[in-house]
């Protein structure tokens, strides 16, 4: 399987995040990418597809914000990375702010996603990595892997959050549609619900979003990913959320994934995008499922058996010591 990664994705390296009431070491580290590379072997540099595919998903004012905010933060005399402290809960209006603190609240939904001068380039190349994996599949490969770090599935059209800035899965799904695919499915098996991906395609009947994740009543991102969120308007029924309780092992996870695959089969996709997070692993430091390294090969074989051309993109996974083996296990299941 062709695998893509750019070393430019490593420069994004926030130090701290606001976690459960205090600042802690940032969990989404460059070492995660190094660990995955050590596990999966050689990767190819992605091609530069430019910004068109990114702009097909994200708004121009949000993309301007991602690039300019670190400079504005420094101009405001603030130390460290851009991080918000106030959010427009009641409803976001398209107001234009000059003050950085107002801007960051307007374009984010949590305080766990610091933005530095190095972030834009890393997120840009993470998206290019995903687009190169799509190219491989569009040119006939059964599957390809994008090592997407920083991850993407919490980022919406005009907001960052959950360590995510540009939504690579959404960018790939939209690029596939723009390349002539008529129906694209996204299977999200990160521990956390991919609220950004869901939001981007919530009213789109040509993109099916299915997610297996920790019940948002107990786990981040809390406000999205509940079973009664199923899509809106003509897209009603094209979002499927399958929350599981903390402690879930392979058996319930595999059963939920099978439910997702059946729904995707009924939808009839031309292409599958997989948001793969290894934060479902039993030893993950911020998550609470109980999957083993060997379980990822089982899950991947179940998906590969459906025979949809598949673009695999990495999302979370914070047990750095096991991350390479976990991603390698998933890839091996796809190939066997
Ligand atoms: N107390 C991804 O896996 N922090 N993002 C949670 C829980 C944010 C995870 C804090 C977790 C984001 C891509
Ligand atoms: Zn996650």
pLDDT per residue as tens digits for the range 243-284:
999 999 999 999 999 999 999 999 999 999 999 999 999 999
Rounded Cα gap, residues 221 and 154, in angstroms? 8
CB-based contact 141:25 (threshold 8 Å): no
Q: Is 162 touching ligand 1 by the criterion CB < 6 Å?
A: yes
Q: Is 336 touching ligand 1 by the criterion CB < 6 Å?
A: no
What is the pLDDT confidence band of residue 55, given thresholds at 50, 70 and 90? very high
Instruction: Kindly list the strands in the beta sheet with 184-188, ordered across the sheet, starting from the edge strand earlier in the chain.
Output: 2-4, 143-146, 310-314, 271-276, 184-188, 207-214, 239-244
User: 153 pLDDT exceeds 80?
Assistant: yes
Residue with the smallest CA separation from ligand 1 atom 8 is 162
For the chain, percent of residues with pLDDT exceeding 90: 95
In the chain, how long is the greatest CA-to-CA distance? Answer: 55
- Nearest ligand to residue 190 Cα: 2
Rounded Cα gap, residues 131 and 102, in angstroms? 32
What pLDDT does residue 94 have? 87
Atom of ligand 1 nearest to the CA of 113: 8
CA of 55 to the centre of ligand 2 (A): 24
Q: Is 315 touching ligand 1 by the criterion CB < 6 Å?
A: yes
φ, ψ dihedrals at 313, nearest 5°: -125, 135
* pLDDT one-digit tens code per residue, 99-142: 999 999 999 999 999 999 999 999 999 999 999 999 999 999 99
What pLDDT does residue 92 have? 85
Atom of ligand 1 nearest to the CA of 279: 3
For the chain, percent of residues with pLDDT exceeding 70: 100
């Amino acid at each position: 399987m062709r695998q893509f990664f750019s070393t430019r994705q490593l420069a994004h390296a926030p130090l701290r995040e606001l976690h459960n009431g205090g600042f802690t070491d940032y969990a989404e580290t460059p070492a995660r990418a190094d660990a995955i590379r050590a596990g999966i072997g050689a990767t190819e540099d992605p091609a530069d597809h430019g910004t068109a595919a990114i702009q097909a998903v994200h708004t121009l004012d949000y993309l301007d914000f991602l690039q300019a905010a670190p400079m504005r933060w420094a101009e405001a005399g603030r130390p460290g990375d851009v991080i918000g402290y106030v959010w427009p809960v009641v409803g976001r209006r398209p107001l234009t702010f000059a003050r950085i603190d107002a801007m960051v609240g307007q374009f984010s939904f949590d305080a766990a996603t610091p933005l530095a001068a190095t972030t834009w380039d890393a997120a840009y190349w993470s998206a290019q990595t995903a687009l190169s994996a799509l190219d491989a599949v569009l040119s006939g490969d059964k599957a390809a892997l994008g090592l997407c770090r920083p991850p993407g599935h919490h980022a919406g059209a005009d907001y960052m959050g959950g360590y995510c800035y540009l939504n690579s899965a959404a960018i790939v799904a939209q690029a596939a549609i723009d390349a002539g695919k008529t129906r694209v499915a996204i299977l999200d098996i990160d521990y956390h619900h991919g609220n950004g991906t869901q939001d981007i395609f919530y009213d789109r009947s040509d993109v099916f979003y299915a997610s297996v994740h920790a019940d948002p009543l107990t786990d981040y991102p809390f406000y999205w990913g509940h079973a009664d969120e199923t899509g809106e308007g003509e897209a009603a029924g094209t979002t499927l959320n399958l929350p599981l309780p903390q402690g879930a092992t392979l058996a319930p996870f595999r059963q939920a994934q099978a439910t997702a695959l059946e729904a995707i089969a009924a939808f009839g996709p031309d292409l599958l995008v997989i948001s793969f997070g290894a934060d479902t692993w039993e030893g993950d430091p911020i998550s609470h499922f109980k999957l083993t390294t060997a379980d990822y090969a089982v899950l991947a074989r179940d998906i590969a058996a459906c025979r949809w051309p598949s673009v695999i993109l990495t999302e979370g996974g914070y047990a750095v010591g096991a991350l390479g083996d976990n991603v390698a296990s998933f890839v091996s299941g796809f190939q066997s």
